[in-house]
Chain A
Amino acid sequence: MLEIKDLHASINGKEILKGINLTVKSGEVHAIMGPNGSGKSTLSNVLVGHPAYEVTKGTVTFGGKDLLAMSPADRSHEGLFLSFQYPVEIPGVSMVNFMRTAVNEQRKYKGLPALTAGEFLKLMRQKREVVELDSKLANRSVNEGFSGGEKKRNEIFQMAMLEPKLSILDETDSGLDIDALRIVAEGVNKLKTPETSCIVITHYQRLLDYIKPDVVHVLYKGRIVKTAGPELALELEEKGYDWIKKELGE
Chain B
Amino acid sequence: MKAEQQYIDLFTQCEALVCRKSAEVLNAPRAKAFADFERLGFPTRKDEKYRYTDVDKYFAPDYGLNLNRLEFPVNPYEVFKCDVPNMSTSLYFVVNDSFDKHVHPSAKLPEGVLFGSLKDIAAEHPELVRKYYGKLADTSKDAVTALNTMFAQDGVLMYVPKNTVVERPVQLVNILRADVNFMVNRRILIVLEEGAQARLLVCDHAMDEVNFLSTQVVEVFAGENSVFDLYELEETHNSTVRFNNLYVKQEANSNVLLNGITLHNGTTRNTVEVQLSGRGAEVSLCGMAIADKNEQVDNHTFIDHQVPDCTSNELFKYVLDGQAVGAFAGKVLVREGAQHTSSRQTNRNLCATREARMYTQPQLEIYADDVKCSHGATVGQLDEDALFYMQQRGISLKEARLLLMFAFVNEVVDHIRMDALKDRLHLLVEKRFRGELSKCRGCAICK
Q: Which residues of A contact B (CB under 8 A)?
A: 48-51, 71-73, 75-77, 81-82, 84, 87-93, 97-99, 101-102, 105-106, 109, 141, 158, 162
A101 and B399 within 8 A (CB)? yes
Interface string of B393-420 (1 = CB under 8 A from A): 1111101000110111011000000000
Q: A97 CA to B396 CA in the complex, in Å?
A: 14
Which of the residues B383, B389, B397 comes within 8 Å of A71, measured between beta carbons?
Answer: B397
Q: How far is the CB of B117 from chain A (nearest CB, A)?
A: 42
B403 and A97 within 8 A (CB)? yes
Chain B residues positioned under 8 Å from A141 (CB to CB): 407
Q: How far is the CB of B9 from chain A (nearest CB, A)?
A: 52
> Dominant SS at the B interface?
helix
Which of the residues A73, A82, A84 comes within 8 Å of B395, measured between beta carbons?
Answer: A73
Which of the residues A87, A93, A99, A158 comes within 8 Å of B407, measured between beta carbons?
Answer: A93
Q: How far is the CB of A155 from chain B (nearest CB, A)?
A: 10
B396 and A105 within 8 A (CB)? yes
Q: Does B391 contact A (CB under 8 A)?
A: yes
Chain B residues positioned under 8 Å from A91 (CB to CB): 407
A87 and B399 within 8 A (CB)? no
Q: Does B106 contact A (CB under 8 A)?
A: no
A73 and B389 within 8 A (CB)? no
Q: Smallest CB-CB separation from B388: which chain A residue?
A: A50
Q: A155 CA to B197 CA in the complex, in Å?
A: 48
Residues of B in contact with A, size category: 20 to 34
Q: Which residues of B contact A (CB under 8 A)?
A: 383, 385-386, 388-397, 399, 403-404, 406-408, 410-411
Chain A residues positioned under 8 Å from B389 (CB to CB): 84, 87-88, 90
Q: Smallest CB-CB separation from B403: which chain A residue?
A: A93
Chain B residues positioned under 8 Å from A72 (CB to CB): 388, 391-392, 397
Counting from the closest, the 4 A-B pairs by CB-CB distance are: A92-B407, A76-B394, A72-B391, A88-B389
Can you give 26 contacting A-B residue pairs, CB < 8 Å?
A: A71-B396, A72-B388, A72-B391, A73-B391, A73-B396, A73-B397, A76-B393, A77-B394, A84-B389, A90-B386, A90-B389, A90-B404, A91-B407, A92-B408, A92-B410, A93-B403, A93-B404, A98-B390, A99-B393, A101-B403, A105-B394, A105-B395, A105-B396, A105-B399, A106-B394, A158-B393
A98 and B403 within 8 A (CB)? yes
Q: How far is the CB of A114 from chain B (nearest CB, A)?
A: 13
Q: Smallest CB-CB separation from B385: which chain A residue?
A: A88
Chain B residues positioned under 8 Å from A105 (CB to CB): 394-396, 399
Chain B residues positioned under 8 Å from A97 (CB to CB): 403
A90 and B395 within 8 A (CB)? no
Chain B residues positioned under 8 Å from A49 (CB to CB): 391
Chain A residues positioned under 8 Å from B394 (CB to CB): 73, 76-77, 102, 105-106, 109, 162
Q: A71 CA to B395 CA in the complex, in Å?
A: 10
Which of the residues A51, A71, A109, A162 comes within 8 Å of B393, measured between beta carbons?
Answer: A162
Q: How far is the CB of A82 from chain B (nearest CB, A)?
A: 6
Q: Smallest CB-CB separation from B408: which chain A residue?
A: A92
Chain A residues positioned under 8 Å from B383 (CB to CB): 88, 90
B383, B386, B393, B411: residue with the most chain A Cβ atoms closer than 10 Å = B393
Chain B residues positioned under 8 Å from A92 (CB to CB): 404, 406-408, 410-411
Chain A residues positioned under 8 Å from B407 (CB to CB): 90-93, 141
Q: How far is the CB of A202 from chain B (nearest CB, A)?
A: 20
Q: Smallest CB-CB separation from A102: which chain B residue?
A: B393
A76 and B397 within 8 A (CB)? no
Q: How far is the CB of A150 from chain B (nearest CB, A)?
A: 16
Besides A84-B392, A101-B403, 10 other A-B contacts (C-beta < 8 A): A50-B388, A51-B388, A72-B392, A73-B396, A76-B392, A88-B386, A90-B383, A92-B404, A105-B394, A106-B394
Q: How far is the CB of B376 from chain A (nearest CB, A)?
A: 15
Chain A residues positioned under 8 Å from B386 (CB to CB): 88-90, 93
Q: A97 CA to B403 CA in the complex, in Å?
A: 9
Q: A99 CA to B390 CA in the complex, in Å?
A: 9
Q: A140 CA to B399 CA in the complex, in Å?
A: 20
Q: A89 CA to B386 CA in the complex, in Å?
A: 7
Q: A81 CA to B393 CA in the complex, in Å?
A: 7
Q: A2 CA to B384 CA in the complex, in Å?
A: 27
Chain B residues positioned under 8 Å from A158 (CB to CB): 393
A73, A106, A162: residue with the most chain B Cβ atoms closer than 10 Å = A73
Q: A42 CA to B396 CA in the complex, in Å?
A: 22
- A97-B403, A98-B403 known; A90+B391 contact, CB < 8 A: no
Q: Smallest CB-CB separation from A101: which chain B residue?
A: B395
Q: How far is the CB of B325 from chain A (nearest CB, A)?
A: 25
Which of the residues A76, A98, A99 comes within 8 Å of B391, measured between beta carbons?
Answer: A76
Q: Smallest CB-CB separation from B398: which chain A residue?
A: A73
Q: A137 CA to B307 CA in the complex, in Å?
A: 44
Chain B residues positioned under 8 Å from A101 (CB to CB): 395, 399, 403
Q: A162 CA to B389 CA in the complex, in Å?
A: 14
Q: A101 CA to B407 CA in the complex, in Å?
A: 14
Q: A10 CA to B386 CA in the complex, in Å?
A: 22
Q: Smallest CB-CB separation from A51: which chain B residue?
A: B388
Q: How far is the CB of B348 from chain A (nearest CB, A)?
A: 11
B388, B394, B406: residue with the most chain A Cβ atoms closer than 10 Å = B394
B397 and A90 within 8 A (CB)? no
Q: How far is the CB of B199 from chain A (nearest CB, A)?
A: 26
Q: Smallest CB-CB separation from A90: which chain B residue?
A: B386
Q: A162 CA to B390 CA in the complex, in Å?
A: 13
